[in-house]
Amino acid sequence: MKRNITRILIYLAVIAVQMVVNDYINPGPFLYICILPMLVVMLPLDQHPAISMAISFAIGLVTDLLTDGVLGLNAGAATLLCAVRLPLFRLVFNADNYDKNEIPSLRLAGWRKFLKYMFPATLVYFAFYVGFDGFVYRSWLFNIARILLCAAVNAAIIALLSNILLGTDNRHSA
Partner 1 sequence: MKKRSGLADYLLIAGTFLLLEIVSIMMISRSGVVQRYKVVGAAKNVQTIFWRSGEKVREFFTLGKENVRLQQENIRLMEELETLKEAADGREIIVSKDAAYTYVPATIIKNSTNKQHNYIVLDRGSRDGIKPGMGVVTGEGVVGVVNSVTPGFSYVISFLNTSQVVSAKLMKNGYFGPMKWEGGATSRAVISEIPLHCDAQPGDTISTSGFSSLYPADIPLGTVVDSKETSGIYKNITVDLFLNFRALKYVYVVVNNNRDELNALEEQYR
Residues that bind partner 1 (CB under 8 A): 22-32, 45-46, 48-50, 53-54, 57, 60, 64-66, 68-73, 75-76, 79-80, 83, 98-99, 101, 132-134, 137-138, 142
Residue among 77, 78, 100 at smallest CA distance from 89: 100
The distance of closest approach from Cβ of residue 137 to partner 1 in the complex, given in angstroms and rounded to an integer, is: 4
Residues 101/172, Cβ–Cβ less than 8 Å: yes
Q: Which is nearer to partner 1, 10 or 31 (CB)?
A: 31
Q: How many CA atoms lie within 13 A of 94 on its CB side?
A: 3
The distance of closest approach from Cβ of residue 138 to partner 1 in the complex, given in angstroms and rounded to an integer, is: 5
The distance of closest approach from Cβ of residue 112 to partner 1 in the complex, given in angstroms and rounded to an integer, is: 25
Q: Which is nearer to partner 1, 116 or 138 (CB)?
A: 138
Q: Which is nearer to partner 1, 78 or 165 (CB)?
A: 78
Q: Which is nearer to partner 1, 24 or 168 (CB)?
A: 24
Q: Which is nearer to partner 1, 40 or 115 (CB)?
A: 40
Residues 35/21, Cβ–Cβ less than 8 Å: yes
Q: How far is CA 95 from the centre of its chain?
A: 22
Q: How many residues appear in the chain? A: 174
The distance of closest approach from Cβ of residue 111 to partner 1 in the complex, given in angstroms and rounded to an integer, is: 26
Residue 61, C-beta contacts closer than 8 angstroms, at least 6 positions apart: 71, 72, 74, 75
The distance of closest approach from Cβ of residue 152 to partner 1 in the complex, given in angstroms and rounded to an integer, is: 17
Give dist(CA 32, CA 154) in Å, integer. Answer: 8
